[in-house]
Amino acid sequence: MLATEAQFLESGWASVSKHDEKLCGDYFKTFENRGRQVFVLSDGLGSGVKANILSTLTATILGTMLSRGIPLDECIATVATTLPVCRTRKLAYSTFTVLQIERGTAYLAQYCNPPAILLRRGRNLDYARDVHFIGEKEILESHVPLATGDILVLMSDGVANAGVGKLAPNGWRREELVAFLERLDTAGLSAAHIAAQIIDCCRTLSEESLDDDASVLVVKLRERSVVNLLVGPPENKEDDNRILKLFFAKAGIRVVCGGSTAQAVSKYQGKPITVVEESDTAEIPAMSRMENVDYVTEGVITLKKVLELCRGCLADPLALLEFSRKKDAASVLARLFVETATDINIYFGMAANEAHEGTGFDFQVKLALIRQLEECLRELRKNVKISFC
């Protein structure tokens, strides 16, 4: 995940299936081995189950072999001999784009997918592509030194074909996609958000009914962003000052969840808590404001909703677009975890509140909730550290 101590390699993926197809014929997989990270986006021949199997096998074989340092020629030969050939079209397996990042350099190997886009400082940057023939297959190869903030956008041809015969008669041409990306605030958006924005536009151009599977993988080399989350007071009251001193000594964004926790922080700082007007909803309690703390929220109810929203992003990356504009506490925290954070330090207080025992707010409920949130954030490829106090 980390390129250097100050950098973080973030990836985001979004896709939409061809109309009337439940399974997407595109597949993405990432591999890590000894400081080498390999991303493979594969587009299976045709659509539906067959295409899904072909793309899954292609991505898995290529990624596994490349991550182990096996030369590309051998990897492609293995794929070609392993996967079946279409009897009608006499075409084998699927198209693919491979992105390998090691020691700050990106290696691209592209076969019949639309060429990857490289953004630097929010603008398109042309990069050299050399032609390499492996058998009869024309592979485009590139070696690109990366800088912090660089964004690579990989895609299947369903993106280029979005809108054909509908709102984009000639498809979504490359220059139009580049212009779309340059208009976005890509510096402030996560890789997942950028991918979701592209796929959402594909759906719009195709009037919500695509004639081909469309998939996007975005990889972003970004600076680390640390979020420190304090949930519940320490088990031993005498540890309050020690834990809070540690919490405030950590660099990064500070989040305090729970009424008793907020009161303890207020007492420690000698600073008042004020409610943020009109930040509550029928479902989620209001946020509060306190000096030296970036976000103050209610506990279990809010975190349950945060978990639900984060899980929604795992199931469908486009869900991020739904809550990214909302201002309730759960949406704000979910956006913070998904969009902003690279590293999340959770300080979980072990104190049990006797008044909450046997209710939906008791200690065991909170503990199970924080464990589930930890697991979900790891699945979202965040670096998570939890400390019990």
pLDDT score for 79: 87
Report residue 119 CA to chain centroid gap: 18
Question: Quick check: 92 pLDDT over 70?
Answer: no
Chain mean pLDDT for the chain: 91
CB-count burial class (<10 Å; 0-12, 13-18, 19+) for 169: exposed
Residue 86: pLDDT band (50, 70, 90) is: low
Residue 94: pLDDT band (50, 70, 90) is: confident
Average pLDDT over residues 153-164: 96
Q: What tokens were used for 388?
A: 């019990």
pLDDT score for 85: 62
pLDDT score for 173: 96
DSSP result, 187-213: GGS-HHHHHHHHHHHHHHHTTT--SS-
Pairing of strands 343-348, 383-388: parallel
Produce one character per residue of 136-151: b if its CB has 16 or more CB atoms within 10 Å, e if not. Answer: eeebbebebebeebbb
User: Which of 130-139, 202-211, 379-388 has the weakest average pLDDT?
Assistant: 130-139
Q: What is the pTM of this model?
A: 0.91
Residue 238 DSSP label = G
Give Dmax (Cα) for the chain: 76
7-223 architecture in CATH? 4-Layer Sandwich (3.60)
Question: Quick check: 253 pLDDT over 50?
Answer: yes
Q: What tokens were used for 117?
A: 């886009």
CA dist 312 and 309 (Å) reads: 5
Please measure the distance between the N-terminal and C-terminal CA atoms of the chain and give it in whole angstroms. Answer: 27
Average pLDDT over residues 92-102: 88
Average pLDDT over residues 164-185: 96
Size of the chain, expressed as the number of residues it contains: 389
DSSP result, 22-75: SS-SEEEEEEEETTEEEEEEEEESSSHHHHHHHHHHHHHHHHHHHHTT--HHHH
Question: Quick check: 1 pLDDT over 60?
Answer: no
DSSP result, 138-157: EEEEEEEE--TT-EEEEE-H
Average pLDDT over residues 180-202: 96
Question: Quick check: 2 pLDDT over 50?
Answer: no
pLDDT score for 135: 81
Q: Phi, psi (5° rounding) for residue 20?
A: 70, 10
CA dist 157 and 16 (Å) reads: 12
DSSP result, 373-388: HHHHHHHTT-EEEEEE
SS3 category, 275 = strand
- For the chain, what are the domain ranges? 7-223, 226-388
Which range, 230-239, 278-287, 351-360, is most confident? 278-287
User: Which of 22-26, 40-44, 134-138 has the weakest average pLDDT?
Assistant: 134-138
pLDDT score for 5: 67
Question: Quick check: 34 pLDDT over 90?
Answer: no
Question: Quick check: 353 pLDDT over 80?
Answer: no
Question: Quick check: 360 pLDDT over 80?
Answer: no
Average pLDDT over residues 32-55: 90
- What percent of the chain lies above the pLDDT cut of 70? 94
CB-count burial class (<10 Å; 0-12, 13-18, 19+) for 66: buried
Residue 361: pLDDT band (50, 70, 90) is: low
